[in-house]
Amino acid sequence: MTASDWTESSLEPRAERQHVFIGVMGVTGAGKSTFIKTVTGNDDIVVGHDLRSCTTEVMPYTFEHEAVTVTLIDTPGFNDTTRGETEVLRDIAEWLDITYRNPPSIRLSGIIYMQSISDNRMYGSSLRNLKMFRDLCGENPMKNVIFATTGWRLAKEGGQYERAVERETQLCTERLFWEPMIRFGAGTARFEDSRESGIKIIRKLIPQRPVVLQIQHELVDQDRNLIDTTAGATVNEEIKRLEAQYQQQLREIQREMAEALKTSDLEHQQALEETKATIEFLREQTRQARDILNYERRNMDRRHENEMQSLQNALQDTRMALDNQRRRAQAEAAAQRYEDQMRFEQIVTQLKENMTKLRQEDQKLIEEAIANAQKEHDKLPAKGRKRDMGKKLLLGLLPLVGNVVMAAMGFGFIGNPFAGITQQ
């Protein structure tokens, strides 16, 4: 999709058919991609069989059901294994922002929140992510939410069905879990690994009146920054808690290192140095998470390889490095294609023409990046100007604003987050 393809009419649903948009959310491993693949019959959807996230970008999948066109929006898990929850929130928020801000202001008819019934207990991160989901939606849109449990077939085969039913009751009745949202109108359902079961859930949402989510109202109607939204504040609270925790741990390690120096315990000193390095790494990841929330503090020199890794999986460096390497390679290849097709001036023009689709804070970031790139470009003599200036500009913008924003301006890097919504 190029920027010129995205006119004011290009987002309009087909006039002859009802077109509904349904978000599919939940933590990694809950079965979001399995649900979408089963319902749509799309064999290109990759499904994971462990806790590693297969969905790394917001991605729509469209299918026809009776007289209705249905677009399911697959989203990264809030506890994504290769990216932190701040980056995941940013990408989901950007997609919801752009599709609502620009004509014809798409609104979701519903959200399906997937939850594995085999999860025996809610971890702190799961509870926090559930709160973030509630803050993202708001109270009034809860009537358009369905909490769908997965893993029932495995529970039956493993002799755990009764325990699963108890777990379902607990989720629905305890204030710590779904009960407050059910009181505001959210529904529940079981997904039993069949298309019939999935369609039954979707049928409940098709007649619903499309709603504006709380985060859309805050970002678009109230023109707030992401950090000032209710969901952004929830993530920011956790960032502050982690910063304080890591600072305290560093103070304790420094005290122990001083004692180890007095006793000349070299082995203990080395162990403490390694622990200190790990904590400093985690603290840096937390700082980067805050930068994503607070756009004004972003550093224009940050490179793509410094993207925030998941705090909970930060020590799994090898696997995460491979994932980041793959994403960098995809971004490099896409940027090179744009560089081959367009001159630097054409890339700048296209960016400027499409900035009006975005929030003010995104526009400011892009304007600053263009200004810096233009200065560097103009310093070079006409014959000495590098061919990769446009590529450098695009790669510098990607980690700052994300793939959703870049795609909205006609420079998608990883998939098309507006597929099935825009006219190709």
Identify the CA nearest to 116 among candidates 170, 166, 74, 152.
152
pLDDT of residue 22: 98
pLDDT of residue 306: 38
One-letter identity of residue 354 = N
Is residue 23 domain-shared with residue 161, that is, in the same domain?
A: yes
Question: For residue 83, what are the CA distances in angstroms to 53, 289, 300, 406, 414?
Answer: 9, 10, 20, 18, 15
Q: Which two tokens stand for residue 157?
A: 């085969």
pLDDT of residue 296: 35
Residue 251 lies inside a defined structural domain of this protein: yes
Contacting residues for 178 by C-beta, under 8 A, at least 6 apart:
147, 171, 172, 186, 188
Identify the CA nearest to 105 among candidates 9, 244, 226.
9
Is residue 241 domain-shared with residue 94, that is, in the same domain?
A: no
pLDDT digit string, tens, across residues 121-137: 566 667 888 998 999 99
Is residue 396 domain-shared with residue 331, that is, in the same domain?
A: yes
pLDDT digit string, tens, across residues 29-55: 888 989 999 999 987 776 644 434 445
Mean pLDDT calculated for residue range 330-358: 86
Residue 417 lies inside a defined structural domain of this protein: no
- Of 178, 202, 224, the one marking the end of a domain is 224
pLDDT of residue 100: 95
How many C-beta atoms surround the C-beta of residue 138 within 10 A? 19
Distance CA 86, CA 235 (A): 7
Burial label for 136, CB within 10 Å (0-12, 13-18, 19+), is buried
pLDDT of residue 191: 98
Tell me which H or E stretch contains 371: helix 360-379
Is residue 126 domain-shared with residue 30, that is, in the same domain?
A: yes
Tell me which H or E stretch contains 149: strand 145-150
Tracing tokens 């990216």 back to the chain, one arrives at 83
Q: Kindly provide the b/e burial profile for residues 257-271, where b requires at least 16 CB atoms within 10 angstroms of the residue's own CB.
A: beebeeeeeeeebee
Residue 210 preceded by cis peptide, ω within 30: no
How high is the mean pLDDT of the chain?
A: 80
pLDDT of residue 341: 79
Higher pLDDT, 105 or 264: 105
Is residue 371 domain-shared with residue 403, that is, in the same domain?
A: yes
- Of 208, 224, 240, the one marking the end of a domain is 224
Residue 253 lies inside a defined structural domain of this protein: yes
Mean pLDDT calculated for residue range 152-174: 95
One-letter identity of residue 197 = S
Distance CA 109, CA 13 (A): 13
51-55, 259-263, 297-301: which has the highest mean pLDDT? 259-263
Higher pLDDT, 124 or 206: 206
Is residue 244 domain-shared with residue 329, that is, in the same domain?
A: no
* Three-class DSSP category at 61: strand
Is residue 278 domain-shared with residue 166, that is, in the same domain?
A: no
In what order do the strands lie in the sheet containing 59-65?
59-65, 68-74, 18-26, 110-116, 145-150, 187-190
pLDDT of residue 384: 54
| Residue 370 pLDDT > 90 | yes
Is residue 10 domain-shared with residue 56, that is, in the same domain?
A: yes
Residue 418 lies inside a defined structural domain of this protein: no
pLDDT of residue 245: 77
Identify the CA nearest to 58 among candidates 41, 43, 71.
71
Is residue 271 domain-shared with residue 338, that is, in the same domain?
A: no
H helices present in 206-354, as ranges: 214-216, 230-263, 266-293, 317-341, 344-354
Residue 45 lies inside a defined structural domain of this protein: yes
User: DSSP states of 33-45 as a string?
Assistant: HHHHHHHH--TTS
Higher pLDDT, 345 or 424: 345
* Three-class DSSP category at 72: strand
Mean pLDDT calculated for residue range 391-413: 87
119-128, 135-144, 400-409: which has the highest mean pLDDT? 135-144
Q: How far is CA 311 from the centre of its chain?
A: 15
Domain of 341, in residue numbers: 317-408
pLDDT of residue 235: 82
User: Contact 197/190 with Cβ under 8 angstroms?
Assistant: yes
| Residue 154 pLDDT > 70 | yes
Residue 60 lies inside a defined structural domain of this protein: yes
pLDDT digit string, tens, across residues 224-251: 999 899 998 888 777 777 777 777 777 7
Count the domains in the chain: 3
Is residue 385 domain-shared with residue 349, that is, in the same domain?
A: yes
Mean pLDDT calculated for residue range 279-296: 68
Residue 287 lies inside a defined structural domain of this protein: yes
| Residue 273 pLDDT > 50 | yes
- CATH code assigned at 220: 3.40.50.300
Question: For residue 354, what are the CA distances in angstroms to 74, 375, 423?
Answer: 25, 21, 17
Is residue 297 domain-shared with residue 344, that is, in the same domain?
A: no
Residue 422 lies inside a defined structural domain of this protein: no
Is residue 326 domain-shared with residue 281, that is, in the same domain?
A: no
Distance CA 153, CA 47 (A): 17
| Residue 312 pLDDT > 50 | no
pLDDT of residue 228: 92
Beta strands in 12-92 (DSSP E): 18-26, 59-65, 68-74
Tracing tokens 């922002």 back to the chain, one arrives at 97
Full-model pTM? 0.74
